[in-house]
Amino acid sequence: MVLKAVNPTTGETIREYEEMRPEEVGRIVEAAHEAFLAWRKSGFSQRTGLMKNAARILRENRDEYARLMAREMGKPVRDGRAEVEKCSWACDYYAENAERFLQPETVGTEASQSFVAFEPLGVVLAVMPWNFPFWQVFRFAVPAIMAGNTVVLKHASNVPGCALEVEDVFHNAGFPDGIFRTLLVASEQVTRIIEHPLVKAATVTGSTAAGRAVAARAGEMIKKTVLELGGSDPYVVLEDADLEAAVACCVASRMTNGGQSCIAAKRLIVVEPLREQFEQLCVERMGQEKMGDPLWEETTLGPMARHDLRDELHRQVLQSIEKGARCIMGGQIPDSRGAFYPPTVLSNVAKGMPAYDEELFGPVAAVVPARDEEEAIRTANDSSFGLGAAVFTRDTARGKRIATTELEAGCCFVNDLVRSDPRLPFGGVKDSGYGRELSHYGIKEFVNIKTVYVR
């Protein structure tokens, strides 16, 4: 099989890559295990120095990486640069904090000494998506490697160039051979890789279907998994919100990465007295987006990553309109080449429509009316997903209460848009997955939390 990188702006094939055969994959996993046996004994000073090198390489080459992302999956170069900067931040953060996070924890018992140690597991398989082709990988790999594990990456098939460049970052930073390896394979090989006895755990960022498949096989093999899956994030705008600020956050979140983000604002739930004005301001702000070639500096909205994804999004929009939603902006496929879809706003969105029930992975804002706070919260939680959520109100105590005790999501923000941060745990509940990435919680996901008891 051939893995093909296709430019979504032009539809032209950038490059084709031969898929690795199972025997080659097996050799790479074995090499990763051999590297682990030595890496687990390395000191934090060595790991820190190498990870600082990785941060430097990322910053020095951010323009090149941004252009690669633009060509392979349509991300505007200005957004690609920001993504690379965030990766370097994660490298620096864990270089500076991993040793502290993994210090043994003394526990008082009847023993002369008892403590909890954190030991790496071994080779970890990462199945990663195309939408943030650098950040999604570094978000997981940096803490995993700093903890003493080694990584094999199965990246999305449409970003093979990005996958190989990420491997080169670690190689050029001086990490020993086998610490991080990219596997150029199709999804059909994932099950076999999970089954490999030297693969000790797996992590998935992607669709709920992909997460279920990996978790099911890993569960049969009794191997640890972390899943960061889809989302249909609700943004609740209450009657006392600062409307201008709320709209700005909602639109910024909805349009992040062209709407192709798990934590983008998907359902904008607006308490009725504000709905009409909210929609007007939303249309005004989304109308300021500049759609075009992602290699152009002025572009803020590039094409979607693939034509089939664009067509699926359009189907969801049309079916929502057929079921009673009102399209007040966009909703038409441009008459031009490329997988472009315009900023789109749907009003009167309700349960039973794709825009309400499904994840819309593109630049489509779905406005859902609510009578009051109680109905808004009930609507927000009326989803199989639970990744992120936000609430907007001038009463911060009210917002804090709703975010803390009312909203069913792993990441809840008040008067701001949901985003990941190396200092905070990131992950979801319900069909959005389980486990956490980032912060001290993330680095402890792929370690043996070991009790040591000395009489």
* Catalytic residue positions, numbered: 228, 262
Q: Where are the beta strands (DSSP E) in 55-166?
A: 105-106, 113-120, 123-127, 150-154
């997988």: which residue's tokens? 339
The string over 362-392, giving b where at least 16 C-beta atoms fall within 10 Å of a residue's C-beta and e elsewhere, is: bbbbbbbbbeebeebbebbebbebbbbbbbb
Q: How far apart are CA 454 and CA 111, in angstroms?
A: 6
Phi/psi region, residue 417 (left: phi>0; alpha: psi -120 to 50; beta: rest), is: beta
In whole angstroms, give the CA distance from residue 210 to residue 228: 10
User: Measured between alpha carbons, how far is 196 from 108 in angstroms, rounded to an integer?
Assistant: 39
How many angstroms separate the most distant Cα atoms in the chain?
Answer: 76
Q: What are phi and psi of 206, to 5 degrees?
A: 165, -150
Please name the residue ranges forming H helices in 305-364: 307-322, 354-357
Six-digit token string for 14: 């950038």
- Of the candidates 336, 285, 286, 328, the residue with the CA atom closest to the CA atom of residue 310: 336
